[in-house]
């Protein structure tokens, strides 16, 4: 297998971007990644997207984005795994380069959520229609059940959840791409309105438009394009039952653990080797579960990590220095690629106000549904 590196990365501002269409989100982020590497040709494009068909009435994004980039002809396809679509697009691009088929492959993710669609209804189609949606549950409800199970099993509290959001906003306030650049106090979070008990508004990621892209090439060609390539050491993916009720234990995200285990094995690394991580905090409870599933802390210890600063900047393992999905925003199909952009920035020492000093190895974990799919990538600055 050929070794693969990221040679360019870029993303749009995240937010309610009423002046940018789905195609604008792609072109803006793709050109940033390509310009970052000084590249004006591509061998192939992958575009992660959850549901442009439902959000804006447009399927068939492969030719759309190649065309909009001024590159009709280039092979392009859409990858979908709900909110893990972006991470899966990186995985697909990785395979194409690793196989020896292509040298310059763009992995992008885009989602246009603010365009009039019933967002909660569309997002619900990432859960099990027959076993969940028909009975009326949506994602805040599903993650509320995960939170309740975690509280029951490990003694996690609403305050524990809230510290995750406080940390997210503290970091996101320093991220020029973030949707919400406001510091939030513990009181702000704990008095925000209840969405699905015990989850409050500030425990939930927002509705966001955005795009992100990373450009991959064989490691042995990377220095043609950049002084600071970032090697992909490992990719791990997994699924679990689509319906939450069919999982062994709703308090543990088994899909994250399995995808992480596969990525660690491929990279020949352990959790303690990770210097900085972006994880899928679609709801505050998800971040706590991810700490545990990825081995950053022991089972049941996730609840204390944010409060005690373990995952804060300067802590043992800084997590979501970008502000995470909570503060940076969560354009669902773009999120996994945006996580990679943050990690690439960190490993190049371009992390700005949230740079983790001396970061050499970073991890990005991207999840779909209530924990039905997950993909983990491990990166190393070289």
Options 253, 368, 378, 381; binder of a copy of itself; rule CB under 8 A = 368
Min CB(129)–a copy of itself separation in Å: 5
> Do residues 25 and 211 lie in contact, with contact meaning Cβ atoms separated by under 8 Å?
yes
Contacts (CB under 8 A) with a copy of itself, residues 231-250 = 235, 237-243, 246
Contacts (CB under 8 A) with a copy of itself, residues 94-113 = 95-96, 98-101
Q: What stretch of H or E contains 378?
A: strand 373-381
Q: Which is nearer to a copy of itself, 50 or 319 (CB)?
A: 50
Edge-to-edge strands of the sheet including 4-11? 44-48, 105-111, 210-218, 4-11, 230-239, 373-381, 361-368, 276-278
Binding pattern to a copy of itself, positions 8-47, x when CB under 8 A?
A: -------------x----------------------x---
Q: Would you tell me how many other CB atoms lie within 10 Å of the CB of residue 307?
A: 18
Choices 126-134, 170-178, 208-216, 305-313 (CB under 8 A): range interacting with a copy of itself:
126-134
Choices 34-42, 86-94, 285-293, 338-346 (CB under 8 A): range interacting with a copy of itself:
86-94
Min CB(201)–a copy of itself separation in Å: 25
Paired sense of beta strands 361-368 and 276-278, if any: parallel
Choices 50-58, 156-164, 170-178, 287-295 (CB under 8 A): range interacting with a copy of itself:
50-58
CA count, 13 A, side-chain hemisphere, 213:
30
DSSP 121-142: HHHHTTS-TTTTGGGT--HHHH
Min CB(366)–a copy of itself separation in Å: 12
Contacts (CB under 8 A) with a copy of itself, residues 143-202 = none
Q: Does residue 330 carry a catalytic annotation?
A: yes
Q: Which of 83, 282, 289, 290 is catalytic?
A: 83
Nearest to 261 by CA among 242, 235, 287, 282: 235
Choices 69-77, 136-144, 157-165, 306-314 (CB under 8 A): range interacting with a copy of itself:
69-77
Non-local (6+) Cβ contacts of 295 within 8 A are: 260, 264, 270, 271
Options 3, 63, 271, 300; binder of a copy of itself; rule CB under 8 A = 63
> Do residues 10 and 31 lie in contact, with contact meaning Cβ atoms separated by under 8 Å?
yes
Burial class (CB in 10 A: 0-12, 13-18, 19+), 193: exposed
Q: Does residue 377 carry a catalytic annotation?
A: no
Q: Which is nearer to a copy of itself, 248 or 358 (CB)?
A: 248
Min CB(205)–a copy of itself separation in Å: 17
Question: How many residues line the site for a copy of itself (CB under 8 A)?
Answer: 64
Question: Under the criterion CB under 8 A, does residue 70 sit at the interface with a copy of itself?
Answer: no
Q: Which of 169, 280, 330, 377 is catalytic?
A: 330
Q: Which is nearer to a copy of itself, 34 or 375 (CB)?
A: 375
Reduced to 3 states (helix: H, G, I; strand: E, B; else coil), residue 320 is coil
Choices 137-145, 312-320, 356-364, 372-380 (CB under 8 A): range interacting with a copy of itself:
372-380
Question: Under the criterion CB under 8 A, does residue 72 sit at the interface with a copy of itself?
Answer: yes
b/e burial code for range 79-113 (CB count within 10 A of at least 16 → b): bbbbbbbbbbbbbbbbebbbeeebbbbbbbbbbbb
Signed CA dihedral, 99, 104, 107, 112: sign only: negative
- Cα–chain-centroid distance for residue 1? 26
d(CA 222, CA 227): 8
Options 36, 80, 275, 292; binder of a copy of itself; rule CB under 8 A = 80
Whether a cis peptide bond, with omega within 30° of 0, leads into 17 is no
d(CA 356, CA 347): 9
b/e burial code for range 263-281 (CB count within 10 A of at least 16 → b): bbebbebeeeebbbbbbbb
Question: Under the criterion CB under 8 A, does residue 125 sit at the interface with a copy of itself?
Answer: yes
Contacts (CB under 8 A) with a copy of itself, residues 297-336 = none
Residues known to be catalytic: 83, 330
Residues that bind a copy of itself (CB under 8 A): 1-2, 21, 44, 50-51, 53-54, 56-64, 66-67, 72-82, 88, 91-92, 95-96, 98-101, 122, 125-130, 133, 235, 237-243, 246, 255, 258-259, 368-369, 372-373, 375
């Amino acid at each position: 297998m050929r070794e693969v590196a990221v040679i360019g990365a870029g993303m749009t501002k995240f937010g309610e971007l009423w002046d940018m269409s789905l195609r604008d989100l792609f072109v803006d982020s793709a050109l940033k990644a390509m310009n970052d590497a000084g590249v004006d040709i591509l061998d192939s494009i992958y575009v992660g997207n959850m549901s442009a068909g439902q959000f804006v009435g447009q399927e068939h994004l492969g030719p759309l984005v190649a065309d909009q980039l001024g590159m009709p002809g280039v092979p392009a396809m859409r990858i979908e795994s709900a909110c893990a679509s972006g991470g899966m697009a990186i995985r697909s691009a990785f395979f194409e380069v690793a196989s020896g088929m292509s040298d310059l492959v763009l992995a992008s993710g885009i989602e246009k959520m603010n365009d009039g669609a019933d967002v909660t209804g569309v997002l619900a189609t990432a859960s099990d229609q027959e076993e969940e949606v028909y009975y009326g549950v949506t994602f805040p409800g599903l993650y509320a059940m995960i939170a309740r199970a975690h509280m029951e099993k490990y003694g996690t509290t609403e305050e524990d959840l809230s510290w995750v959001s406080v940390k997210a906003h503290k970091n996101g306030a320093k991220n020029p791409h973030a949707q919400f650049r406001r510091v939030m106090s513990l009181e702000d979070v704990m008095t925000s309105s209840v969405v699905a008990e015990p989850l409050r508004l500030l425990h939930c990621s927002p509705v966001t438009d955005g795009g992100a892209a990373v450009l991959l090439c064989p490691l042995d060609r990377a220095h043609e394009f950049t002084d600071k390539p970032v090697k992909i050491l490992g990719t791990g993916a997994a699924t679990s039952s689509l319906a939450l009720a069919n999982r062994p234990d709703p308090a543990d995200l088994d899909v994250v653990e399995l995808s992480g285990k596969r990525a660690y094995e491929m990279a020949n690394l352990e959790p303690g080797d990770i210097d900085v991580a972006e994880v899928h905090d679609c709801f505050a409870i998800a971040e706590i579960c991810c700490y545990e599933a990825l081995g950053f802390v022991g089972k049941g210890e996730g609840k204390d990590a944010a409060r005690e600063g373990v995952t804060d900047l300067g802590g043992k393992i800084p997590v979501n220095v970008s502000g995470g999905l909570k503060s940076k925003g969560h354009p669902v199909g773009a999120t996994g690629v945006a996580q990679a952009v943050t990690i690439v920035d960190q490993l190049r020492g371009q992390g700005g106000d949230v740079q983790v000093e001396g970061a050499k190895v970073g991890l990005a974990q991207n999840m779909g549904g209530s924990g039905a799919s997950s993909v983990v990538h491990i990166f190393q600055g070289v």
